[in-house]
Structure 1
Amino acid sequence: MSFLESIRQKAPFLDKLAESFTPSMTRDEQFRAEYKLPAEEHIIDDTSADVSFISAFGHAKTLRDKGRKGEQAMAYVFSGKFFLTPHYLVFRDAFDHASCVMIVNLSTVKRVERAPSTAYAFSLIVTLYSGTQILIQFIGLRYRSEQFCDHLKKKLKENIPNAKQLPDFLSSCYSEFLLRKNLLNAKDIAAPSAGLGQQFKFPGNPTVAKEKARLMLWFNYFKENGENLAIVKNHEFQKLIRIGVPNRMRGEIWELCSGSMYLRQANPGVYQKILKDNASKVSQAVEEIEKDLKRSLPEYSAYQTEEGIQRLRNVLTAYSWKNPDVGYCQAMNIVVAGLLIFMTEEQAFWCLSSLCDTYVPGYYSKTMYGTLLDQKVFEAFVEEKMPLLWNHIVENDIQLSVVSLPWFLSLFFTSMPLEYAFRIMDIFFMNGSQTLFQVALAILKLNGDDLLQSEDDGMFIAILKNYFQTLSQSAHPDSSDVKYRQITKFQELLVTAFKEFSVIENSMVAQERARHQKGILQNIETFVKRTQLRHMPRTLNLTEEELSNIYDIFYQSIENHKISMGTGSSNMNFEVFIQFLSKFCDWCRSSENDNDPAFRQQRRNFLKRLFKNWDSGNVGDLTLNDVVSGLDKLLSRDLLESVNYFFSLYDEDGDGELQREEVLQISEGLLFLTEPWKTSRFVDILTKQSIEADIAEKIVKEKGTAMTMDELKLPSGVTIDEEKYKTEQTERYLKAASCFLQRSFEYARPLEVAEEINLIDLSDNEGETEDAKQKKFQSMRANAALDPSHPTVIDLATFRMIILADETYELFFTITFRHSIHVDQRVDLSEAKDKALRSMFDGIIADGRRVADQVRRRVDSVATRSTTASINSITASNGPATIPRDDKSDDLDDLTSYHADEHEELLNNSWLGDVESSDSSKKQSRTLQPINSSSGSQQEDLIEFET
């Protein structure tokens, strides 16, 4: 035991301190990550116990069988803790969590019985399918042990269906074949299907690699410690992996270490079903896969044949359909090609899933954020562990990531000869991603002297490339010691990586990733945003700032999409589309009418039309480009274009005509869009002008025509009748809607040329006037227009005429609708809008120039009329006369004082009006404070009723 390890055991607080710097994980997440269990596994119960393991073919079992009856076989006893999950029984020792780790799938349990024990001891004997026995002696309170056994009994019953599928799964495991053939002398058993190496040979020289000797070591290990779904892992297991896994066993050991064996066992037939269900489908990922198939490990002979290419195609295609967020990414073909040399297609498929999800998350993603993050982590390790080399790299502007990125992305498959890359993969699947950093640091360490002589990237890469080509050569060819000369460069690499850099552990890697993750993700988001904005469709009505804001709101609305990680769909469905528009469109936000089913249906009907019109691909989802193009049409500054586009939303067949039902639908659409103004939540320019005119009229009445423009200022007590303007605006929009529907049917033309309807008045009202008869006749004609037997249509020209004939709707399509879409500002969803006319009054007060213009026009008009009348009167009686001017300096001094005081108050007070209640009237009113007519900013948009 090392000195540092002894300190760690004596000071367990060091582990807690290290955990405090790592990203927080739940207990179940930590448990699954440690034992590579599937995502559905979670801890149901746990208990302390002593356990001994007697293999069906082990030495202890042999002694027991040969001994006298009743003689106890000797076996090691380990103290630790049992964990029960829905499908697994896991034991780990209490010593170092590595001396005895047992992962038993519950479907392999054949029998459970109580062991003979004293009154104080509670023990179980668990017998597995192979005959292996596990003796469990519980430690602790009796009731807790009974509770654990109850949970175990329940889960064993639930796993009975899985036990029936166990023989088929075991037939695919080479360890099972090895034991049955050599220990049970099975004659009719055949070797399970394996990777391409069985047919096209494995890389390397089997004699030099001592394949038979390694296979014998693993055979002996399986005899003593079990195999596949019921194996016990200990320090010997780790040692056997470090010295090298035999080629025939490599696929199963990779499966076992990575946890993909558990995934394959839990999902029988899923791989074949994915291939079958998507056999005839085409996607962008499938097209990219086809381009890279023949570039996958071309030095291996199997990938020069159709069989090898087809296996590679099947695995990559199936994974792209299983995980559409990833689909297919660069270097994934290289990794899968390496796996298929030792694994079947199904094994490689599940191993790839475990690799992408657990070992190197984010490596094979659309943004490759995991690879970029680990490059930053690797540079941090180089700077810390090899400062001299790091300073040389910085001084010569050598891009280390250009050199190391292929190592990490291809897991060294394209950097060094395959037989050595596979040795690194053995340790990688056992220890995790820390292996990549340890090996990469060792490579730089062993070539440090030569790398310090390099002056550019080319020389840096050439030195390392030459090193990889000589890994089989002696590391010390000039040594006088024969054993020393036999050490190869690759062996030296492994010793350096896992001895000198053993301090690089997964916890340290996690800490560094957490430290650099935020910066990397922000850089990726900035790059992706800049790229997407650059490739957006050309717009006529949207600025760059507005496009940037639309981009942000679009991806904020799609909560399951992570831009930096490239996960989740980047398309927007209809429900998200509604939420998206509600963030910046006044007419799509929630209102008091949301409780009205008819109004909710109107909103959905209109938004569905808009959604369908924007869906350029007719796929039921909107891309960012679809949304940008659609908003650009909505924000058109041309009146006729806006009217034409609104007409096209309802002209689904594109014939340029709207029939009766479509006219009713377009009328409902207008009712929905104008609801914020119809209910007086916002005001339009006509209402605003009416208020300004009334204020100006009051000023003129108070000051009279003798007031000069220098004396102009708003009075301190102008009271606005809020209910009056609300009512006027509501009535105006209701009238516009009524007139639109009436004129649409009045000016509609027959769909087909039909005979004139003979309208006969059968009434006996002989006393009716001619005007009354004419009105009655027009009413009868209108009713005839609604007759379904006589269909009528309106064309685009008629629709434009009807809109332009109404001042309210003309203004709506000219300004109001466009200014109700706030793509120019970030929207705060928490912004409450409850006070109707407040912001409108603030706008009027802040922009006193418009009121001053109204006053000036009225004063000039009254003064002109008064002067003309006076002159005419005087001229008629006495001839021409001179009009005297009354110049009051006191009023000028008051105005100067007003400028100084009121302007300072305006700058310091964002709320420019105070509210007064009029007791004399029951209507809501507002009192406007005086303001400098030249202050504020001109506001020509529609003004909200609330703030």
Structure 2
Amino acid sequence: MRKQFGMPEGEKLVNYYSCSFWKGRVPRQGWLYLTVNHLCFYSFLLGKEVSLVVQWVDITRLEKSATLLFPESIRVDTRDQELHFSMFLNIGETFKLMEQLANLALRQLLDRDDFLEDEAPPRPVRPHRNTSALKRDLDARAKNECYRATFRLPRDERLDGHTGCTLWTPFNKLHIFGQMFISNNYICFASKEEDACHLIIPLREVTIVEKADSSSVLPSPLSISTKSKMTFLFANLQDRDFLVQRISDFLQKTPSKQMGCVIKGRRASIAEPGAESPLAPEMVTELPASPDSPPGGHPGFGAQEAPTSSQGLLKLFQGNSPVEDLGAKGARERMKEESWNIHFLEYGRGVCMYRTAQTRELVLRGIPESLRGELWLLLSGAWNEMVTHPGYYARLVEESKGRYSLATEEIERDLHRSMPEHPAFQNELGIAALRRVLTAYAFRNPTIGYCQAMNIVTSVLLLYGSEEEAFWLLVALCERMLPDYYNTRVVGALVDQGIFEELTRDLLPQLSEKMQDLGVISSISLSWFLTLFLSVMPFESAVVVVDCFFYEGIKVILQVALAVLDANTEQLLGCSDEGEAMTVLGRYLDHVVNKQSVSPPIPHLHALLTSGDEPPTEVDIFDLLKVSYEKFSSLRAEDIEQMRFRQRLKVIQSLEDTAKRSVVRAIPVDIGFSAEELEDLYTVFKAKPLASQYWGGSSSAASRRDPSLPYLEQYRIGASQFRELFASLTPWACGSHTPVLAGRVFRLLDQNRDSLINFKEFVMGMSGMYHGDLTEKLKLLYKLHLPPALSPEEAESALEAAHYFTEGSSSEASPLASDLDLSPPWEAQETSPQERREGSRNEDAREKGGEEKGTSPPDYRHYLRMWAKEKEAQGETIKDLPRMNQEQFIELCKTLYNMFGEDALEQELYHAIATVASLLLRIGEVGKKFSARAGRKPQDGVPEQDRPPTPEAQPAAAPELLPPATGDLQAQGGGDTHLGRAPQDSQAVVDGGSGEGQGSPPQLLSDDDTKDDVSVSSYSVVSVGSLPCEDLPDDTVLVGGEARSPTRSGGSVDADWCISFEQVLASVLTESVLVNFFEKRVDIGLKIKDHKKVERQVSTSSDYEPPGASG
């Protein structure tokens, strides 16, 4: 498979299936390969081949369909095409696996650093030896997610197995059929009928596991007793002995301080019964003496370490006044409490209680104020996490004290916006508690940190529970019950908004079309879902919705939202614009009341700000809930999860498209690329970090993705990835020399020297090669052969040259900035001593002038001019570029010769560059004499040992290469960089330093000028100092090679020889063929298309031979 589709070793095949791919109206029978990151298809039929590769992250739609044209098929949509696969042997299994793989891939695009750690399936100790092992891991992952969602268990819980059984229910004296689930910390039961019975037994609560005697009525029974004196009787177990053994193994791993347990019927004894005593304080919270002492009444963990509140704010601000004093409302509240007490007696109380349809009925009728905090903890599963992490919240509060971040700044800004109408948050006590909870969660989960609407939800949680309880309820909301809601992109809320729109189309079709025209759903649903109606309903009504949410999940929120739209259908159909529809819905929700509430009425802030001539009729919240269950109770959790998957595909791909458009808009308009070209470049650029995430390991992927940065700079690539892109996209193809040139471009673009470049830097580099004029392109090439682009390994004298320039020997020492604004920060300091002295004198003059003119402050126009000047791009002139030494010039010539190898005018270009190179060599030689004379004057006062060596002080002459003609210079581009050779028909004629062939330049210097020069090789294209002798071509003529043994660090490079960029530019302008070469326009669109075909980042199909299919 890997060879067939060109996949690396890191790509794992999950499974493959026989099917048909519909190409047009013709089915092509073949094989569908499902890998971890790709969907692949291959077919060979009647001499024609079809090959497809689609990344899971590129899929925008995945669904099963059954139409007349495509009977029982799977439809796969990408941004570019629509694919249909049919004729599966088991289409259900195939589609389920495709859903899993697509969902996993899309989650990698979310801003979730904990993806690989928390949600990855458990890895077996042994390596994968066949494809079914990986598929079993994926199946186990899906079962784990379903298990945790069904029983509201912590995210690290792993399902060990499940078996069919019956459960004896003492409240109705029946044996209920269902499934028992065993995990490392819990024993759970779910009845076959959905609402008959659910049971959660934490192993920390188990005291006795006993195999009872079998009978015809109870075959293979198993009795489990807990510390709360409850006994659960299971029967009809398939393999009771193995089950008991597994439970025993898990009990042994449970911390002894939290468990005292005995296995009866077996020899193993886990602990003595006396071990129950350390749990006595905890059990006070499991079985309170009365409903008035819920688990929130305990003093909390680590209360002495941190000043945390140990009870709900509602009790602090309302006191403990008896409900009898409230009249009819108080009597009704007392009846609710008694109903719950009776329920606790029959079904148990605490985490081990039987959860039945009667429990849901009691929740729908309203949870009493005194029990709300306790039941929220139990129904949401937050109680389990709080008990198993004692002291965790207190440590977080202590560690986050005095620490500041962007999240803490946002928290401080929103603290006073959290239910300002409630007296608990008009007081510093409530504000401080809210600050501690939000800050602790921001430090627990920095990926989410803080998101708007978290303050509103948390403030309500604090009213009914202690700080620690509110913290764990917030954890349950953000990480399990509302996944991906509270992050920078609110993906989860957008997904459920899409579900709401889909349900509106199905259940309220007449209203749906009108709402779509008005654009109302997208405006209202985010605030409804993010705050659970707390921001749009009166407080005492919204908490009833929250009661149902903790029991039913997101299903209730969707039902209530549909019921609100249904109740306002006539008015909404008569609305003419979005604002009118928003007013109708806002006023309706303002008048949803709770007539049973015993809390003092709190004026709703939204209701105070909206007014109307005729307020709508009040609606009781319990009537609204009743209608929502009567009309829209057909929603099931499994259906919602299926819809979430479909909507997640659309939402994430839409967000990626939005990010792409934002990037394109952020690129400067003068970059030269069109919007379509920039989008294509962004696509191929982003594919590299994603490929690294697939096959390079999580650590390398994390280093290349920083979601906190702007979209423009989020994705980053390393040098090896850049070389791959450069080789396929650059207009300056240099054959085997291309990787060397790519490395230099990468170092030039890497501003901050972190060995990574972002998309902005990448585009700026490509723009210089594609859309720069002749001067800009030559300037870019020139700088690619200066430090830092030219590495020390490529030119031994690079560091010496940089040191030479910074010492002031060159009058042109200045920053290595560029028009691309990519100058390293340290280069701004590379000024000569004379320039520094002049700058200080100018600064002193300005200060003196300011003193003479007086101390009156400048007016605003002065600051506006300064601001405008700072905003102006500091363009670099050609005079700002430093001079190039001999070895750097040699490298430049090598690059140019390799660049012309694939051009139609290859020979003319070789001749032209040979002429230009020889001309520049002689210019450098002439300039050396002037710089040598000028350099002696300022050194009169310098000690002799500190002076730079002069040509007269050089040692014996180094081995020399006379200036070669076209063919020699190209041939000498080989060396240790393994560059391509020149054409064999190019001959070199060497005669005392002047060429007589077609590439020979005119003789500019007399023999007297060069006779006494110890560095005749200083104006040669290749010197022995730059290439080892054994790497030189056979046709290269060495002169004076016997003078001494050359070394890489020898003095074969003339330190005084240098040329400027102006000289390079002027020399190139003398050759029209070179000018035409650099001014020639290249279409990057064709390069991108070829790159996509090679890299297979977009699905491709071929009727002939698929790439990578050979062999």
Structure 1 residues 333-412: aligned runs within 5 Å: 333-390=455-512, 397=518, 399-412=520-533
Aligned partners of 1:407 and 1:414 also within 8 Å? yes
| Change over 3 Å in CA distance of 1:199–1:542 after alignment to 2 | same
Aligned partners of 1:325 and 1:567 also within 8 Å? no
| Change over 3 Å in CA distance of 1:194–1:593 after alignment to 2 | farther
- Alignment equivalent of 1:640, drawn from 779, 782, 796: 779
Matched AA of 2:340: W
Asked if residue 753 in structure 1 is aligned to residue 968 in structure 2, the reply is no
| Change over 3 Å in CA distance of 1:167–1:758 after alignment to 2 | farther
Shift of 1:362: 4.1
Whole-angstrom distance in 2 between the partners of 1:523 and 1:203: 52
Whole-angstrom distance in 1 between the partners of 2:720 and 2:1066: 30
1:354-398 alpha-carbon deviations (Å, 9 max, x no partner): 323443344333333443443343344334434454566578x47
- Residue 680 of structure 2 is matched in structure 1 by 549
Whole-angstrom distance in 2 between the partners of 1:743 and 1:352: 76
Matched AA of 1:176: E
Asked if residue 132 in structure 1 is aligned to residue 230 in structure 2, the reply is yes
Shift of 1:613: 1.4
Asked if residue 46 in structure 1 is aligned to residue 186 in structure 2, the reply is no
| Change over 3 Å in CA distance of 1:32–1:818 after alignment to 2 | farther
Aligned partners of 1:326 and 1:364 also within 8 Å? yes
- Alignment equivalent of 2:146, drawn from 11, 27, 30: 30
Task: Decide which structure has the larger Cα Rg and report it.
Answer: 1
Asked if residue 111 in structure 1 is aligned to residue 222 in structure 2, the reply is no
Q: Tell me, what secondary structure is at the counterpart of 1:231?
A: coil
- Residue 100 of structure 1 is matched in structure 2 by 197
Q: Tell me, what secondary structure is at the counterpart of 2:629?
A: helix
1:906-929 alpha-carbon deviations (Å, 9 max, x no partner): xxxx99xxxxxxxxxxxxxxxxxx
| Change over 3 Å in CA distance of 1:282–1:330 after alignment to 2 | same
Shift of 1:91: 1.6
Matched AA of 1:826: I
| Change over 3 Å in CA distance of 1:84–1:786 after alignment to 2 | closer
Whole-angstrom distance in 2 between the partners of 1:537 and 1:689: 34
Whole-angstrom distance in 2 between the partners of 1:81 and 1:670: 78
Whole-angstrom distance in 2 between the partners of 1:22 and 1:212: 53
- Residue 613 of structure 1 is matched in structure 2 by 751
- Residue 724 of structure 2 is matched in structure 1 by 582
- Residue 176 of structure 1 is matched in structure 2 by 286
Matched AA of 2:250: K
Whole-angstrom distance in 2 between the partners of 1:275 and 1:154: 36
Q: Tell me, what secondary structure is at the counterpart of 1:341?
A: helix
Q: Tell me, what secondary structure is at the counterpart of 1:233?
A: coil
Matched AA of 2:751: N
- Residue 200 of structure 1 is matched in structure 2 by 317
Matched AA of 2:626: V
| Change over 3 Å in CA distance of 1:195–1:673 after alignment to 2 | farther
Asked if residue 427 in structure 1 is aligned to residue 548 in structure 2, the reply is yes
Asked if residue 441 in structure 1 is aligned to residue 579 in structure 2, the reply is no
Whole-angstrom distance in 2 between the partners of 1:550 and 1:603: 20
Matched AA of 2:286: E
- Residue 427 of structure 2 is matched in structure 1 by 305
- Alignment equivalent of 2:1088, drawn from 796, 817, 826: 826
Asked if residue 148 in structure 1 is aligned to residue 231 in structure 2, the reply is no
- Alignment equivalent of 1:315, drawn from 418, 432, 437: 437
Aligned partners of 1:108 and 1:229 also within 8 Å? no
Aligned partners of 1:195 and 1:343 also within 8 Å? yes
Any gaps of 5 or more consecutive residues in structure 2? 1-91, 101-138, 261-275, 302-309, 597-616, 694-700, 805-883, 936-944, 959-1007, 1018-1039, 1096-1103, 1106-1111
- Residue 823 of structure 2 is matched in structure 1 by none
Q: Tell me, what secondary structure is at the counterpart of 2:488?
A: coil
Matched AA of 1:237: T
Aligned partners of 2:206 and 2:259 also within 8 Å? no
Structure 1 residues 442-461: aligned runs within 5 Å: 442-452=563-573, 454-461=575-582
Shift of 1:787: 7.2
Whole-angstrom distance in 1 between the partners of 2:221 and 2:291: 34
Shift of 1:421: 0.5
Aligned partners of 1:23 and 1:511 also within 8 Å? no
| Change over 3 Å in CA distance of 1:371–1:818 after alignment to 2 | farther
Shift of 1:106: 1.6
Aligned partners of 1:587 and 1:676 also within 8 Å? no
The number of aligned residues is: 726
Matched AA of 1:145: R
Whole-angstrom distance in 1 between the partners of 2:421 and 2:402: 31
| Change over 3 Å in CA distance of 1:658–1:362 after alignment to 2 | same
Shift of 1:420: 1.0
Shift of 1:422: 0.7
Shift of 1:690: 5.9
Aligned partners of 1:174 and 1:191 also within 8 Å? no
Aligned partners of 1:438 and 1:502 also within 8 Å? yes
Q: Tell me, what secondary structure is at the counterpart of 2:1088?
A: coil
| Change over 3 Å in CA distance of 1:744–1:372 after alignment to 2 | farther
| Change over 3 Å in CA distance of 1:586–1:463 after alignment to 2 | closer
Structure 1 residues 704-743: aligned runs within 5 Å: none
Shift of 1:646: 5.4
Whole-angstrom distance in 2 between the partners of 1:238 and 1:508: 20
Whole-angstrom distance in 2 between the partners of 1:137 and 1:670: 87
Whole-angstrom distance in 1 between the partners of 2:414 and 2:362: 35
Aligned partners of 1:660 and 1:791 also within 8 Å? no
Asked if residue 660 in structure 1 is aligned to residue 800 in structure 2, the reply is yes
1:194-228 alpha-carbon deviations (Å, 9 max, x no partner): 33223234999964264444344434444444444
1:130-163 alpha-carbon deviations (Å, 9 max, x no partner): 33333333433xxx32222222221111122572
- Alignment equivalent of 2:186, drawn from 65, 78, 88: 88
Q: Tell me, what secondary structure is at the counterpart of 2:208?
A: strand
| Change over 3 Å in CA distance of 1:693–1:551 after alignment to 2 | closer
Matched AA of 1:643: Y
Aligned partners of 2:719 and 2:743 also within 8 Å? no
Q: Tell me, what secondary structure is at the counterpart of 1:110?
A: strand
Whole-angstrom distance in 2 between the partners of 1:547 and 1:830: 15
Whole-angstrom distance in 1 between the partners of 2:453 and 2:1072: 59
Whole-angstrom distance in 1 between the partners of 2:953 and 2:396: 69
Q: Tell me, what secondary structure is at the counterpart of 1:92?
A: strand
Asked if residue 259 in structure 1 is aligned to residue 381 in structure 2, the reply is yes
Q: What RMSD in Å do the two structures reach over aligned CA positions?
A: 6.0
Structure 1 residues 443-842: aligned runs within 5 Å: 443-452=564-573, 454-472=575-593, 489-514=620-645, 516-537=647-668, 539-559=670-690, 576=718, 578-586=720-728, 609-610=747-748, 612-613=750-751, 623-629=758-764, 631-632=766-767, 636-637=772-773, 638=776, 639-644=778-783, 647=786, 649=788, 659-660=799-800, 684-685=899-900, 688=903, 753-754=947-948, 825-826=1087-1088
Asked if residue 214 in structure 1 is aligned to residue 352 in structure 2, the reply is no
Aligned partners of 2:729 and 2:1091 also within 8 Å? no
Whole-angstrom distance in 2 between the partners of 1:357 and 1:818: 56
Structure 1 residues 838-857: aligned runs within 5 Å: none
Whole-angstrom distance in 2 between the partners of 1:183 and 1:687: 85
Whole-angstrom distance in 1 between the partners of 2:947 and 2:1061: 21
Aligned partners of 2:749 and 2:762 also within 8 Å? no
Aligned partners of 1:196 and 1:308 also within 8 Å? yes
- Residue 352 of structure 2 is matched in structure 1 by 230
Whole-angstrom distance in 1 between the partners of 2:187 and 2:231: 14
| Change over 3 Å in CA distance of 1:662–1:812 after alignment to 2 | farther
